[in-house]
Amino acid sequence: MTAFRLAHLSDLQLPPPPLPFRWRDVASKRLLSRFAWRRKQHRHDQVVLDAIAADIAARRPDHVAITGDIINFSTPEEFAAARAWLANLGDPGGVTVSPGNHDALSARGAPEAFAPWRPWLGDEGADFPYLRVRGPVALINLSSAVPTALHLAQGELGAAQIAAARALLREAAERGLYRVVLVHHPVAPDVVSGRKELVDADALRAMLAETGAELILHGHAHEALLTTVPGPAAAIPVLAVPAASTPAGGRGQPARWNELEILRDGKGFRTTVTARGITLELTVEHKGSFVLA
């Protein structure tokens, strides 16, 4: 039987195109974030990101999952540029985007409900969570992206989204599908500081402990991580990857993406994770493989 191969990358933080001056940005979080970008822009290089994207394309996965922070300031110009980048990456039916806090940095002037990226969010429905079924896999796409105050990078799902996700997870379980939850912010406790956390993570974990899931994918921490949260019968593995645009040899973990091979194994599934990461020479190489317990 052929394995379903899912690529996971996160925190692209595409360099912003030239942005016009707008008075509304002076009174928003965008102004401070632009100063921060000038200080930290060397940590995100589109040449690195494009090398990661080319490697993913060469591996020809069945689907690509991106867990947020596609852009930086949530301006209309950035949404348009990111849409072009996503279109070059692949058909919207083969790529799913879960937005991050930078994608919702400020509500003022930003496209409502991430409208330019709508084809990459889900197949049906008007709002999160979205369900996408691809082969034996059910992608439950959540959005933790909300505008926040200065110096905060928190996320929030809200009770309605968590309740709707519960129903989707139950439906997917009844269909015998491998359930992958996509969300930008970490789900396990103590992964990031309080100013960066998912504020209703306790409610999400309680729901997952009841319904279960086979895997959770997130970003935000800019680290390669394997954590777990409780499920109804066994712990649910939670995977994260470093930012997909971070050069090797600089600050932060170098860019990496994970290839997940999901194979039916009797009545269950077997999942093999292969990490592929950027080098100083801007090539992408195998960094190791393991099987999820």
DSSP 20-43: ---HHHHTSHHHHHHHHHHHHGGG
Q: Are 154 and 197 in contact (CB under 8 A)?
A: yes
Residue with tokens 């015998």: 176
pLDDT computed for residue 26 by the predictor: 45
The residue type found at 31 is L
**Top-ranked range on mean pLDDT: pick from 70-79, 97-106, 134-143:** 134-143
Closest CA to 65 of 242, 226, 259, 274: 259
Residue 36 reports pLDDT greater than 60: no
Percent of the chain with pLDDT over 90: 78
Confidence of residue 86 (pLDDT cuts 50, 70, 90): very high
d(C-alpha 235, C-alpha 248), whole Å: 33
Residues in the chain: 293
pLDDT computed for residue 250 by the predictor: 84
Q: Element (H or E) spanning 177, and its range?
A: none
pLDDT computed for residue 23 by the predictor: 37
d(C-alpha 253, C-alpha 152), whole Å: 22
Confidence of residue 41 (pLDDT cuts 50, 70, 90): low
- Mean pLDDT across the stretch 27-35? 51
Structural domain boundaries in the chain: 4-291
Mean pLDDT score of the chain? 91
Residue 153 reports pLDDT greater than 80: yes
Confidence of residue 21 (pLDDT cuts 50, 70, 90): very low
Residue 100 reports pLDDT greater than 80: yes
- Mean pLDDT across the stretch 95-99? 97
- Mean pLDDT across the stretch 262-286? 96
pLDDT in tens, 209-222: 999 999 999 999 99
pLDDT computed for residue 106 by the predictor: 57
Options 3.40.50.720, 3.60.21.10, 3.40.190.10, 3.40.50.410; CATH of 4-291: 3.60.21.10
Residues 6+ apart with CB under 8 A from 56: 7, 9, 64, 89, 257
pLDDT computed for residue 63 by the predictor: 98
- Mean pLDDT across the stretch 118-126? 92
pTM of the model: 0.92
Q: Residue 12: how many CB atoms within 10 A of its CB?
A: 29
Residues 6+ apart with CB under 8 A from 96: 63, 64, 65, 66, 120, 121, 122, 130, 132, 139, 141, 182
